[in-house]
């Protein structure tokens, strides 16, 4: 099959960027550090998107940062910018064909990548997430009590039999939660990085799926307590592929209600977008629903009364 000119142009930039990064011998973290020293703020996630071809620099500030990136990578000035084709179409059709790796959604991807290697997870493209329902319970002492997750997947290949989760404590040093699988799956291998405050685990289906079949995966993260350890007063869900429906429920103790609650999204350049205030009922219930969302990150944060 012969590639069309537009396709060749679209491939030229990420291909050249990957080659330049490999030739430099620098990790994405080190590249980000050197850019920051120049006063340029670009996330590791954005750099990962750019070199994979899943995103391209299009904002004015991203294009300006690209000039500094050329210097850091020691490539001729303007050589990478010249390879950028016209802006890609946005919207659902474009998003449906996109898929990110699990670690690409973390600003510091190396600890996540190392955790996934410890459980030998290599099948993140075998299943597509159709829907997700998370319920987080926050205790009266403002600590995180539990998180219940229900996911619906569709197999993209014959033999799909597992999925993975990565959980960030937000504040390293907190005790790790206990992970319990629901009736529809069982807990497989898991790995922890206490220094980074990360835990990864795989969930094994009762039997392998054929392509097109669906499965429900349910599990719970239960924090030790009381007292319950406090995170950063937020909850973020990262999606590697578009999801048709995401529901997030928050349950606060009626004796300890937040003073303010909002949701927002984080785009590929690590910019916070789409802020929206959420309401919490007197009995401590709040929720948000996102349709056809992702790839990307959706977060909810709250503030406590003084």
Domain shared by 130 and 271, yes or no:
yes
- What is the model's pLDDT at position 284? 97
| Beta sheet of 185-193, edge-to-edge order | 160-168, 198-209, 185-193
- What is the model's pLDDT at position 178? 97
266 vs 140, residue with greater confidence: 140
Q: Is residue 110 part of a domain?
A: no
- What is the model's pLDDT at position 123? 55
Domain shared by 160 and 236, yes or no:
yes
- What is the model's pLDDT at position 179? 97
Q: What mean pLDDT value characterizes the chain?
A: 84
Domain shared by 140 and 74, yes or no:
no
- What is the model's pLDDT at position 90? 46
Tally of domains within the chain: 2
Residues 19-40: tens digit of each pLDDT = 999 999 998 888 888 888 877 8
Task: List C-alpha distances in Å: 111 to 105, 106, 176.
Answer: 12, 9, 16
167 beta partners: 199
Domain shared by 148 and 78, yes or no:
no
Task: List C-alpha distances in Å: 283 to 135, 217, 257, 279.
Answer: 15, 29, 8, 12
CATH code at position 147 = 2.60.40
Q: Is residue 106 part of a domain?
A: no
Q: C-alpha 61: how far from its chain's center?
A: 23
CATH code at position 37 = 1.10.260.40
- What is the model's pLDDT at position 37? 84
Domain shared by 84 and 158, yes or no:
no
Domain shared by 79 and 128, yes or no:
no
Provide φ and ψ at 73, rounded to 5°. -90, 0
Q: Is residue 133 part of a domain?
A: yes
- What is the model's pLDDT at position 294? 82
Residue range 214-235: mean pLDDT, rounded: 95
Residue range 2-29: mean pLDDT, rounded: 72
Q: Is residue 101 part of a domain?
A: no
Q: Which residue is associated with the tokens 């403002």? A: 142
Domain shared by 80 and 174, yes or no:
no
Q: Domain containing 194: what range? A: 123-303
| pLDDT above 80 (res 53) | no
Query: Which stretch of DSSP H or E encloses residue 92?
Result: helix 92-96
Q: Is residue 95 part of a domain?
A: no
Residues 62-118: tens digit of each pLDDT = 777 888 888 899 988 778 887 875 555 444 444 444 677 777 777 777 888 888 888
Domain shared by 140 and 199, yes or no:
yes
pTM for this entry? 0.69
- What is the model's pLDDT at position 183? 86
Q: Is residue 108 part of a domain?
A: no
- What is the model's pLDDT at position 62? 75
Domain shared by 61 and 127, yes or no:
no
Domain shared by 143 and 291, yes or no:
yes
Q: Is residue 240 part of a domain?
A: yes
Domain shared by 191 and 271, yes or no:
yes
Under the banding of pLDDT at 50, 70 and 90, the label for residue 13 is confident
Q: Is residue 29 part of a domain?
A: yes
Domain shared by 52 and 175, yes or no:
no
Task: List C-alpha distances in Å: 215 to 28, 153, 154, 161, 241.
Answer: 35, 5, 7, 9, 17
| pLDDT above 90 (res 220) | yes
Q: Give the percent of the chain with pLDDT over 70.
A: 88
Query: How far is it, in rounded angstroms, from Cα 89 to Cα 243?
Result: 19
């Amino acid at each position: 099959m012969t590639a069309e000119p537009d396709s060749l142009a679209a491939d030229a930039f990420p291909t050249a960027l990957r080659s330049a990064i490999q030739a430099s011998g620098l990790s994405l973290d080190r590249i980000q550090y050197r850019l920051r020293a120049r006063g340029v703020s670009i996330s590791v996630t954005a750099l990962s998107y750019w070199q994979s071809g899943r995103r391209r620099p299009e904002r004015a500030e991203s294009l300006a940062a690209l000039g500094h990136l050329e210097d850091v990578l020691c490539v001729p000035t303007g050589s990478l910018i010249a390879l950028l084709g016209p802006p890609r179409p946005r919207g659902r059709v474009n998003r449906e064909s996109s898929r990110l790796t699990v670690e690409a959604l973390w600003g510091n991807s190396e600890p996540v990548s190392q955790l996934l290697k410890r459980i030998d997870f290599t099948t993140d493209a075998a299943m597509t997430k159709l829907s997700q329902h998370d319920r987080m319970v926050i205790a009266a002492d403002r600590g995180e009590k539990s998180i219940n997750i229900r996911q619906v997947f569709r197999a993209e290949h014959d033999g799909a039999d597992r999925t993975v989760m990565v959980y960030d404590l937000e504040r390293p040093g907190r005790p790790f939660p206990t992970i319990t699988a629901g009736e529809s799956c069982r807990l497989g291998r898991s790995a922890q990085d206490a220094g980074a405050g990360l835990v990864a685990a795989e969930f094994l289906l009762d039997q392998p799926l054929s392509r097109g079949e669906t499965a429900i995966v349910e599990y719970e993260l239960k924090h030790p307590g009381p007292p319950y350890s406090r995170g950063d007063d937020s909850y973020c869900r990262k999606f590697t592929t578009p999801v048709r429906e995401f529901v997030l429920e928050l349950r606060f103790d009626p004796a300890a209600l937040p003073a303010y609650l909002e949701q927002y999204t984080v785009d590929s350049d690590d910019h916070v977008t789409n802020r929206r205030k959420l309401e919490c009922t007197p009995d401590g219930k709040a929720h948000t629903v996102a349709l056809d969302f992702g790839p990307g990150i959706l977060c909810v944060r709250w503030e406590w009364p003084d």
